[in-house]
Structure formats: C-alpha cells, structure tokens
Amino acid sequence: MERTEVLVIGAGAAGMMCAIEAGKRGRSVVVVEHNAAPGEKIRISGGGRCNFTNLGAGPGAFLSQNPRFCISALSRYTQADFIALVDRHRIAWHEKTLGQLFCDGSAKQIIAMLTGEMAAAGARLRLAVGAETIERNGEGFTVSTTAGPIACASVVVASGGKSIPKMGASGFGYDVARRFGLRVTETRPGLVPLTFEAGLLERLRPLAGISVDAVISCGRTRFAEAMLFTHRGLSGPAILQISSYWREGEAITVDLSPGTDVFEALRGIRAKAGRQAVSSVLADLLPKRLAQTACDLAGLREGARGTLGDCSDKVLRRIGAAANAWTVKPVGSEGYRTAEVTVGGVDTRDLDQKTMAARAVPGLYFVGEAVDVTGWLGGYNFQWAWSSGWAAGQAA
Ligand code: FDA
C-alpha cells in the first residue's frame, strides 16, 4: 500500500497551500485531485485573472457562526504574505477596486506558482485520483482512492464546497466531517444571483442588462456596489454580496439612487418647476429606463403620471420610496450551479482555530471552503484558502 505522512484531498487553493507548507517542514506529502488539472477554480476566477486577495482582508469580511474563528489563520498568514509570494514569482498584479488584487496576465500564473512551490517542497500531485472513503487505522488513516488505498498519518480535507458541481464540487468534505462525528452547519449557495417570480420579471423585463450603482440591504447588512438587472432577477457585485446573507422568504431593500433623497429632490423641483413631467424629472435622477420602472413600482398608472405639479406629497413619497427603498422578495437564487461559494460548512466549534485540526480526531484537518468560513466577494475567499491551508500546513 502507498504510504505518506500527509495526504491532502483536493488540489484547490487551500490544499495546494497546505501541501507546500507541510512539504517545506520535511513531511512527505501526497495531494490527490479528482480533476485532470489542479486549481480549476483558480483558473476561472476573477474572469480568468484571479482576484487572489484583498488588501482589506480581515475578520469583518467573513461570515461564520463563530466570526472570531478565522482571526488566527488570517493574522498568521496575511494578504501581505501572499503578495510577497506572488512578487517572488514575478507575477505582475494590479488593484482593481476596493482593495481587490488581480493578476495583470492570467490566473494560470497563480496555478503555476503553486504547483512549482509544491514540487520544490517535494509534495507529489496525483491528478485524476478521487478520494472515496477515510478509515481510522490505529494512529493514522487509510484513504481509499480511485487509484487504490493510501496510508497516512494526517489527512487534510481540502475538497471545497458544493458550488459549481460540474467542476467536481460535491459535499465530500461535509460527509467526511459527519462520519467522524463533527458537526456541519447548514449550507447554502453564496455569492449568487437572486431570482424573481414571473410576474415581477415581466414588469422588469425592459431593464434586463442595465447596471446601476445601488445600495442593497438585507436586515442590518448593506453593500454599496454595482447591481445588474438580468432576465431572471438581479445580479452584479452588490447582489452577490447580499446573497450570502439573504435567506429564502426574506426581502431585500434596494436604493437605486444612493446619495439622493428622491422624494426631497422631486419636492424641491415641484416648487420651482411644477410643469415638468414626472418621468422626465426622474430621468435626471435615475437611469432613463429605470425612471419609467420607478413610476410602475410606485403604482402610478400611465395616465396618472402627468406633471410634478399634479402630484401630491403622498404620490412623490411613493415614487421616492420606489427609488430609494425598493423592497422586493426574491423567490430564490440561481443555486450551486453558479454560486461562487458555499456558505456554512464544517462547524468551527469542532476545529482548532490555530491548526484547523478536528479537536476530537487527531490527524484530521479541514481547510478552505469546506469550513464554515465564507468571505465577501473580492479576493477574501482565496485569502481564507491561503491562510487556513497555511495554518494546517504548519501542523499536519
Ligand atoms: P476548491 O473548490 O478550490 O478546491 C477543492 C478541490 O478539491 C477541487 O479541485 C476539487 O476537484 C477537489 N476535490 C473535491 N472532492 C474531491 C475528492 N473526493 N477527491 C479528490 N479531489 C476532490 N474567490 C476569490 O477570492 N477571488 C476570486 O476571484 C474568485 N472567483 C471565483 C469565480 C468563480 C466562478 C467561482 C466558482 C469561485 C470564485 N471564488 C473566488 C471562490 C474561490 O474559488 C473559492 O473560495 C476557493 O477556490 C476555495 O478553495 P478550496 O481550495 O477550499 O476549494
């Protein structure tokens, strides 16, 4: 039977980082990856340029039932550490917006950097080999794989979450956790477009393809970024961000004109130029096609629109609310098919925050997206993968 000290399951961001670090400590490391290539999600990330970290990565940008769990790993292997690695490999990068760092060239450079570092650290990468089951075996484990069993002292589960099943994502990590008695928090798609029911979609159809700067809130969480009307509902960065916080049945509130109190603005214009048509005044405050829809959403019928002077405060308030606080209940999300991440995962109460080891199962580790730590859009999820993989790599 093949033997190694550390077996890493999954050659994604977290697994490769863990393998590099464990290898550098002189541990013998094998990484099994059921895809034919490593780092497939890195390859497609950031539109092919990989948003590999965020200058502002800190615990406040992560969701978890225990928001403090990520602090240890994030502060021991920081965005500055990863940037230094990227710089050592002479990979050119730039800040796009909001602290988001992207490769100037291609995400493939990040994959080549990681596989190069793995090889230099002596970690062996076995592609097209899937892990099937893990059995405890005295002090260590026997992992059955599609290429036969592998005996090891430590197993690092770096198999990711459920998002994008057609790229090989599955609930493997959660099944392993449950099988060893660890708790798994509720999982759901995150960073995902939201969908509307047919009636509302019909009314919003003329807006499909329009992008606006908006402030979206759900409960006490709010994001100010771009939002896109789609043929199924809403997308764009602001919606992807809020989707990780949104639960089925909840409404979201959209401010389509951030920074302008539309009711006050309309009232002010009415006092000076009451003969102007409501729709043309609104078209100065909102993108044109949206102005029309704001009237629809405010429940103003075609004939009732008229001039500003015809509108009572009550009517202007309705238009203002439609523009500044459009409240809408999505029926669902586009699901794991397009979600960038899985929210939830292996319960952090059962993991050691310093090493990512299962508290009750010596030698078993969980890293990356498999864990109940989910970042915002913007390079935070890769930073969690690097930091948690690094932390496990110091211990496994
Ligand atoms: P990841 O999913 O990357 O790796 C897990 C690996 O395990 C996979 O290669 C899988 O095939 C393998 N595997 C699973 N089960 C196995 C088994 N039983 N046996 C063997 N192998 C197995 N984040 C970010 O910070 N910046 C960005 O720009 C983007 N962009 C982006 C775009 C898109 C389209 C998606 C879907 C996601 C992103 N993300 C992102 C999120 C980011 O990709 C994600 O958070 C990390 O890839 C998670 O890294 P992991 O290593 O934990 O899992």
- Measured between alpha carbons, how far is 43 from 49 in angstroms, rounded to an integer? 8
CA of 301 to the centre of ligand 1 (A): 48
Cα four-point dihedral sign 372, 376, 377, 379 = negative
CATH topology of domain 2-189+339-393: FAD/NAD(P)-binding domain (3.50.50)
User: In CATH, what class is 193-334?
Assistant: mainly beta
Q: How far is CA 113 from CA 13, 93, 379, in A?
A: 11, 14, 17
* Maximum Cα interatomic distance, the chain, rounded to a whole number of Å: 86
pTM passes above 0.80: yes
CA of 15 to the centre of ligand 1 (A): 10
- Burial track 209-233 (b if 16+ CB lie within 10 A, e otherwise): ebebbbbbbbeeebbbbebbbbebb
CA of 223 to the centre of ligand 1 (A): 24
Complex ipTM: 0.99
User: How many CB atoms are located within 10 Å of the residue 191 CB?
Assistant: 25
14 pocket-lining for ligand 1 (C-beta < 6 Å): yes
Best CA proximity match to 298, nearest among 311, 316, 271: 316
* Segments making up each domain of the chain, as ranges: 2-189+339-393, 193-334
- Phi-psi map region of 129: left, alpha, beta (phi>0 left; psi -120 to 50 alpha): beta
Q: Which amino acid is at 313?
A: D
131 pocket-lining for ligand 1 (C-beta < 6 Å): yes
User: Residue 154: beta bridge partners?
Assistant: 6
Q: Print pLDDT tens along the chain (396 aa).
A: 999 999 999 999 999 999 999 999 999 999 999 999 999 999 999 999 999 999 999 999 999 999 999 999 999 999 999 999 999 999 999 999 999 999 999 999 999 999 999 999 999 999 999 999 999 998 899 999 999 999 999 999 999 999 999 998 989 999 999 999 999 999 999 999 999 999 999 989 989 999 999 999 999 999 999 999 999 999 999 999 999 999 999 999 999 999 999 999 999 999 998 899 888 888 888 887 888 777 777 777 654 468 899 899 999 999 999 999 999 999 999 999 999 999 999 999 999 999 999 999 999 999 999 999 999 999 999 999 999 999 999 999
- Measured between alpha carbons, how far is 80 from 84 in angstroms, rounded to an integer? 6
